[in-house]
């Protein structure tokens, strides 16, 4: 597909173009090819696109696999991937551009731009600033309220997100600690729209895509027929990669767009990191570059970081994670979204950057490959390969499972109407809305009114209650905890404590609303 680039975009595209590879691959190209092939073989990845920038130039581009397993359509550098939470740095960049233009300040109260914004604590509402939306210091718990965003599709709007925040109770005091959240990035997108005078998606196209030549990226609503090749998410079923249905026609805007909804190709992402690795690039002022890569909120330095990377520092900037790796400065982020994994790793002092895009369930593959590629620059050692880091991850998981084995739910059976009589009815949570625990067939169903994929059957596991989801793509089963007293709250919790934090069952508190229809 041909794409017209405006003059500024054409200039950026020319500077960060993807050169044709010579018959004899450059050292970086050969290294990346070998590492990618090892990761694909180890983790049976459906498709992957990886690129490396060295000293301002693209040094390696590697694609493997298919857009959809079994389709015969290869992954190419212009194939669209969901970059998930790597969207956050683009949202922060839109705000930074607006700050450069004098349309907002980082210390503006959020309510200056969104008067309807409310947190649970009125004091926090008054004092939360625009910069606080980006650095995960709100006092909310990990992933609080994410069930309004995922699983998709659902009918929660951005207005619902803003209204729902008032009902999410904090777990720590404001600005006292780090806990990753997505909802406040949705709010950040709405602040940008209010300050910029146009919808968030229009601002991303105007302030990021156009000046950097990222014309393949998609944000907001867009048409499949007007885009390039599209990588489809996959899930693992009986040891196979199974692609989700292909999208057709108009792809709608989604509520989570500013937190994790942007799609880009490898070509586009290499232009994105090229602009960040060039401190003289006029797209963003030095002041805003410093703000983005300043550690505004300290983060824990985990055991893995200390042992693998000799890290001493970890913090969150404006849409970026900051740390030190083997004595080198690292700026990075990851993205995870329903069968799509991404990673961006920048080593600014070395003018080096890495992009990894995968269209499958690939948490370990992303971690391992990111380590191997980064070590080429921070601590070259042929022993630090895919097999080495994969073995370390397997050992970590084994030790965790020994310490905290998964509950045995193999004895599950459908709950009967008689034993579930005290649970029947429509229950309501103030931010998630209603769920129905009502007879379905010869058992009991669980059905969310606003999140249609969250429907399942109520099961018994010994003396416990479990919700077995109908949709295999909702991959975090839930314990159901009845009220401890009459008029009390019904709650949920994860069966697997390591399941994705966006299944924030623990933040739900249902009260009985009425009888089943």
**Residue 129 near residue 117 (C-beta atoms within 8 A):** no
Same domain, 214 and 253: yes
Q: In 44-146, which ranges are continuous DSSP H helix?
A: 87-100, 110-113, 122-127
Is residue 285 domain-resident? yes
d(CA 463, CA 131): 47
Is the residue at 169 inside a domain?
no
CA distances from 291 to 53, 288, 296 (A): 23, 5, 9
- Distance (Å, whole) CA 333 – CA 91: 13
Residues 85 and 234 in one domain: yes
Residues 425 and 370 in one domain: no
Residues found in the chain: 517
- Contact between residue 117 and residue 219 where contact means Cβ atoms under 8 Å apart: no
The reported pLDDT for the residue numbered 338 is 87
Residue 500 domain-assigned (yes or no): yes
Q: How far apart are CA 388 and CA 368, in angstroms?
A: 9
Give the model's pLDDT for residue 455.
98
Domain co-membership, 257 together with 387: yes
In sequence order, the β-bridge partners of residue 82 are 263
Last residue of a domain, one of 343, 374, 398: 398
Which distant-in-sequence residues (6+ apart) come within 8 Å of 193 by Cβ? 199, 200, 203
Q: What does DSSP say about strands 464-469 and 478-481: parallel, antiparallel, or unpaired?
A: antiparallel
**Is position 81 within any domain?**
yes
Residue 259 in any domain: the answer is yes
Q: Are residues 359 and 433 in the same domain?
A: no
User: DSSP character for 501?
Assistant: T
User: In whole angstroms, how far apart are CA 294 and each of 209, 288, 289, 463?
Assistant: 24, 10, 9, 51
Neighbours of 123 (CB within 10 A): 9
Residue where one domain finishes, among candidates 369, 398, 427: 398
For residues 477 and 467, the answer to whether their CB atoms sit within 8 Å is: yes
Claim to verify: residue 265 and residue 382 sit in the same structural domain? yes
Distance separating alpha carbons of residues 68 and 52, to the nearest angstrom: 24
Q: What is the CATH number of the domain that holds 257?
A: 3.40.710.10
* Distance separating alpha carbons of residues 255 and 156, to the nearest angstrom: 7
Provide the number of structural domains found in the chain.
Answer: 2
* The pLDDT of residue 265: 98
- Long-range residue pairs from 195-203, CB within 8 A, at least 24 positions apart, any chain: 195/95, 195/98, 195/103, 195/104, 195/113, 196/94, 196/98, 196/103, 200/91, 200/94, 200/257, 200/258, 201/253, 201/257, 203/94, 203/98
249 and 385 together in one domain: yes
- The pLDDT averaged over each successive group of 10 residues in the chain (517 residues) is 34 40 64 98 98 97 98 98 98 98 98 98 98 98 98 96 98 98 98 98 98 98 97 96 97 98 98 97 98 98 98 98 98 96 98 98 98 98 98 96 92 97 98 98 97 98 98 94 95 96 98 97
453 within 8 A of 447, measured Cβ to Cβ: no
What gap in Å lies between CA 55 and CA 57, rounded to an integer? 6
The pLDDT of residue 26: 56
Report which secondary-structure segment, H or E, holds 373. Answer: helix 363-378
The dihedral built from the CA positions of residue 287, 324, 189 and 207, taken in this order, carries a sign that is positive
End-to-end CA distance of the chain: 53
Residue pLDDT, tens place only, 168-182: 999 999 999 999 999
What is the model's pLDDT at position 4? 30
- The per-residue pLDDT for 316 is 98
Q: CATH no. for residue 480?
A: 2.40.128
Which of 363, 398, 433 is the last residue in one of the domains? 398
Do residues 276 and 417 both lie within one domain? no
CB atoms within 10 A of CB 369: 30
Question: Domain span at residue 468?
Answer: 413-514
């Amino acid at each position: 597909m041909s794409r017209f680039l405006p003059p500024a975009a054409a200039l950026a595209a020319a500077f960060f173009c993807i050169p044709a590879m010579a018959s004899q691959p450059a050292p970086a190209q050969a290294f990346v090819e070998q590492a990618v092939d090892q990761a694909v073989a180890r983790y049976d990845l459906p498709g992957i696109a990886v690129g490396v920038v060295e000293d301002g130039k693209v040094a390696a581009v590697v694609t493997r696999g298919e857009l959809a397993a079994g389709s015969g359509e290869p992954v190419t550098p212009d194939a669209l991937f969901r970059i998930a939470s790597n969207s956050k740095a683009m949202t922060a960049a839109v705000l930074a551009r607006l700050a450069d233009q004098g349309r907002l300040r980082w210390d503006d109260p959020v309510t200056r731009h969104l008067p309807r914004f409310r947190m649970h604590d009125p004091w926090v509402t008054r004092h939360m600033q625009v910069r606080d939306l980006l650095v995960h210091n709100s006092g909310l718990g990990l992933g609080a309220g994410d069930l309004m965003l995922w699983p998709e599709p659902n009918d929660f709007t951005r207005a619902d997100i803003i209204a729902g925040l008032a009902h999410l109770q904090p777990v720590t005091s404001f600005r006292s600690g780090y806990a990753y959240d997505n909802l406040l990035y949705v709010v950040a997108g709405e602040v940008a729209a209010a300050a910029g005078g146009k919808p968030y998606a229009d601002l991303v196209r105007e302030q990021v895509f156009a000046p950097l030549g990222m014309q393949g990226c998609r944000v907001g609503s867009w048409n499949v027929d007007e885009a390039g090749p599209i990588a489809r998410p996959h899930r693992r079923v009986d040891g196979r990669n199974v692609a989700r249905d292909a999208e057709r026609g108009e792809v709608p805007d989604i509520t989570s767009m500013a937190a994790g909804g942007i799609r880009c190709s490898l070509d586009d992402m290499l232009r994105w990191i090229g602009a960040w690795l060039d401190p003289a690039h006029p797209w963003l002022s030095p002041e805003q570059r410093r703000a983005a890569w300043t550690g505004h909120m300290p983060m824990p330095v985990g055991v893995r970081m200390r042992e693998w990377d000799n890290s001493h520092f970890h913090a969150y900037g404006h849409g970026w994670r900051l740390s030190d790796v083997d004595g080198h400065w690292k700026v990075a982020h990851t993205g995870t979204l329903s069968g799509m994994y991404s990673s961006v790793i920048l080593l600014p002092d070395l003018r080096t950057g890495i992009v990894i895009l995968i269209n499958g369930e690939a948490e370990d593959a992303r971690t391992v490959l990111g380590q191997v590629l980064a070590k080429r620059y921070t601590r070259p050692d042929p022993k630090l390969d895919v097999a080495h880091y994969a073995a370390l991850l397997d050992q970590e998981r084994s030790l965790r499972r020994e310490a905290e084995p998964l509950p045995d739910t193999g004895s599950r059976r459908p709950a009967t109407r008689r034993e579930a009589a005290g649970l029947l009815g429509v229950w309501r949570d103030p931010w998630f809305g209603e769920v129905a625990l009502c007879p379905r067939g010869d058992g009991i169903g669980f059905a969310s009114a606003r999140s249609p994929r969250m429907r399942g059957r109520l099961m018994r596991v010994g003396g416990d209650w479990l919700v077995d989801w109908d949709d295999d793509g909702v991959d975090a089963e839930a314990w159901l905890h009845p009220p401890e007293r009459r008029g009390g709250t019904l709650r949920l919790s994860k069966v697997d404590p390591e399941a994705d934090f966006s299944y924030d069952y623990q933040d739900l508190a249902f009260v009985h609303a009425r009888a089943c229809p």
